[in-house]
Amino acid sequence: MCNLLEVKQLFFSYGHGDVVNNVSLTLGAGRILSLLGPNGCGKTTLVKMVLGLLKPRAGQILASGRDLTRVNHRERARHFSYVPQLHHANVAFPVLEMVLMGRIAYQGCFRRYRAEDLVAAENALRQMHLLDLADRSFAELSGGQRQMVLIARSLAQQSPVCIMDEPENGLDFGNQVKLFRLLRELSSTGMSFVVTTHHPEHALWTDGEVVMLNSNGTVLTAGKAGQCITQENLFKLYDADVAVAEVSGQRCCLPLLSAVPSPA
Amino acid sequence: MNRKKILILIAIFILLGLLAAGSLLLGRYSAPLSEQFRALSGLPSVKLDNDHRELLEQLLFHMRLPRIAAAILIGFALAMAGASFQSMFRNPLVSPDLLGVMAGAAFGVILGVIVGAGTLLIQMLSFGCGLAAVGLTLLIAGIYRRGDHLLILVLSGIICGALFGSLGFLISYSADPEQLGASLEYWLDGGLGMATGPKLLSAIPLFILGFGGMLVCSKALNVLSLGEEAATLGINPFYWRLAAIASATLVSSLTVTLAGMIAWIGLISPHFARLLLGADNRLLLPASGLIGAFVLLLADDCTRSLYSSAVPTSLSISVIGIPIFMILLCQSKKGGFHV
């Protein structure tokens, strides 16, 4: 079976030097892949290339074995859905309408939504326990609620891969925990996620895989989150002393704030 | 789309109809109301002699009716185009005038008049120059990528509008003054007095094309108003933007060929509509159009009855429109875009 997403030796440049530098990765069904790295390491650039919002300088992106340069917007949207960072979406559409937009990939923009689209949207809202909000304006929702609505839109889009750009951004701690529990639940049903994050801890929460990106856009290491996220690798990535400990079977990161910085 | 919103839409439509009927009876020439009704419905006069009756008919059918039709058509077009531009650029501060479209179209019209072009060629010239202007605006805005993109787009629109306005003046200086006569200021100021019946009729097919184009785009405009993520939902943003820009520019340019540059309608009407009906473009576009028609007709009625029919309508729109716009801005927190 082909991987849902396969990135091969990808390069990207905004004009002066490569931001994404020879990155390769694979994603299978039901997996959660975290992209981890310091500011400017090209996490967002990488997911934007997968989504077709940016064009790679060199390299290949395959979706279930198909080269993405030969896929139109609609087919791409049936394979990848996108949950963007929070702060952009200040639009006053009703929540149901927002979720229905996940169905554009099937209906196009000329036709009205059909009964099956409404069913898909309502099912997605029900799965996210958001049916009560269906008629509320998206602009009036809290950050956490908006994030849930956007995930519901992804579900309605019925794409096997959901790409999330810093989903924890703007969520309080409780909502962050809820979010990652939800991702694990959904991944157990076969959906896959690519998640960019600033928190190594969150990559551990997913119990999935991780790709750690250096600030020059190269891959430091990739593999199981539990194996890659070590004190040594975190130091290389962030230039910070962070111990990785295990508490009741769950690995967690512990910044060593009072320790003397070790020589670089 | 729920029933309440459709009822609001119908209510606006009825109000517009009432205002139009009222406008027909409004003016400096006074005749008994009953006689005006009789003249309108083709019944013989009771109190008026033949000369007066003829004058009244002339006034109603050749002056007031075309002017009212022009106000409705132009107001509708500018407001719908404004709503399209605002959704497409996710920017509550843009409109055909602020994007430079109107100035570009006016330049095209002046060029057409100077070379002695016919109606269709003038319409095409104004459309072409309107497109060029909005293209230039986007180009200028695209050069500067950092910072506040909302304000940069508005700023480049103003720059571009000023450029095309000056170009219009420049070519008009090189032209025979007889040809343009006093009308140059009229093109730049905007007044409904110029819109005659035949001119209106000749523009209607293209207007319908533009309105249809925008309505076809309305669902895509909803997606585009989400911004970058539109492409990830399965539409090609480039083609849809192009189609929406072309349709909105077409109708905006046509209004310039009819009545010169009429400002503000395209900016304020969509805000009213969004407060009443929300952000869904499938309702917002027609609602903006109806509200725009209503506002322009009302403004023109004020101009006609308070001053004279020769005063540019734009002036009273600015005087009435800007305070209304300020009130709207204060209340628009939940009605659509946040600035």
Q: Give the mean pLDDT of B247-253.
A: 97
- Check: CB of residue A125 under 8 Å from CB of residue A99: yes
pLDDT per residue as tens digits for the range B283-294: 999 999 999 999
| Domain boundary assignment for chain A | 5-228
How far apart, in whole angstroms, are the C-alpha atoms of residue B191 and residue B314?
6
Question: Is the pLDDT reported for residue B178 higher than 70?
Answer: no
Q: What is the pLDDT of residues B238-249, one digit of tens each?
A: 999 999 999 999
Amino acid B335: pLDDT: 47
Q: Which of A89, A97, A109 sits opposite B240 (nearest CB)?
A: A109
DSSP A261: P
User: Which strand (E) or helix (H) includes residue A43?
Assistant: helix A43-50
Q: How many residues does chain A have?
A: 264
The whole-number average pLDDT for the span A70-90 is 84
Supply the pLDDT for residue B338.
Answer: 43
Distance of CA B74 to the CA centre of its chain: 4
Residues of chain A with C-beta less than 8 angstroms from the C-beta of B240? 109
- The alpha-carbon gap from A90 to the nearest alpha carbon of chain B, in Å, equals 6
User: Which residues from A are below 8 Å from B281, CB to CB?
Assistant: none
> Does the beta-carbon distance from B279 to A76 stay under 8 Å?
no
ipTM of the complex: 0.87
User: What's the number of CA atoms in the CB half-sphere (13 Å) around residue A128?
Assistant: 28
Q: Which residues of B touch A (CB under 8 A)?
A: 216-217, 219-220, 222-223, 225-229, 231-236, 240, 274, 278-280, 334-338
DSSP B37-79: HHHHHTPPPSS--HHHHHHHHIIIIIIIHHHHHHHHHHHHHHH
Yes or no: say if A64 and A2 are a contact pair by the CB < 8 Å rule.
yes
Task: Answer yes or no: are the C-beta atoms of B269 and B154 closer than 8 Å.
Answer: no
Amino acid found at B46: V
CATH number corresponding to A5-228:
3.40.50.300
CA A83 to CA A194: how far, in whole Å?
10
Query: Residue B141's closest CA among B91, B104, B197?
Result: B91
The minimum CA-CA distance between B143 and chain A, rounded to whole Å, is 15
Q: How far is Cα B198 from Cα B201, in angstroms, rounded to an integer?
A: 5
Token pair 């096997």 in the structure block, residue = A160
Q: Which residue out of B232, B238, B275 would a mutagenesis test of the A interface target, given it has the greatest number of A Cβ atoms within 10 Å?
A: B232
Residue type, A256: L
- Closest CA–CA distance from residue B334 to any residue of chain A (Å): 7
Which residues contact residue A250 at a Cβ distance below 8 angstroms, ignoring those fewer than 6 apart?
A204
pLDDT score at B313: 78
- β-bridge partners, A66: A63
Closest CA to B229 of A8, A223, A77: A77
State the Cα–Cα distance between residues B288 and B275, nearest whole angstrom. Answer: 11
User: Between residues A2 and B3, which one has the greater pLDDT?
Assistant: B3
Residues of chain A contacting residue B271, judged by C-beta atoms under 8 Å apart = none
pLDDT tens per residue across span B31-90: 677 777 777 777 777 777 778 888 888 888 888 889 999 999 999 999 999 999 999 988
CATH superfamily placement of domain B71-331: ABC transporter involved in vitamin B12 uptake, BtuC (1.10.3470.10)
Rounded Cα distance, B5 and B287, in Å: 10
Residue A20: what are its φ and ψ, rounded to 5°?
-110, 125
For residue A249, give Cα distances in angstroms to A176, A204, A245, A252: 20, 11, 10, 10
Handedness of CA B153, B159, B163, B169 (dihedral sign): positive
Which DSSP helix (H) or strand (E) runs through B118? none
Which residues does chain B have within 8 Å of residue A74's beta carbon, measured at their own beta carbons?
234-235
Helix (H/G/I), strand (E/B), else coil: B128: helix
Residue B182 has pLDDT above 80, yes or no: no
Q: Could you report the per-residue pLDDT of A47-56, keeping only the tens digit for each?
A: 999 999 999 9
* List of residues 6+ apart from A5 with CB closer than 8 A: A25, A26, A27, A50, A61, A62, A63, A80, A161, A192, A194
0.80 exceeded by the pTM? Answer: yes
Lookup result for tokens 């993405």: A68
CA A227, CA A207: separation in Å to the nearest integer? 10
Please check the confidence at residue A65 and state whether its pLDDT lies above 70.
Answer: yes
Closest CB to B226: pick one of A53, A81, A91.
Answer: A91
Q: Which residue from B minimizes the CA distance to A159?
A: B233
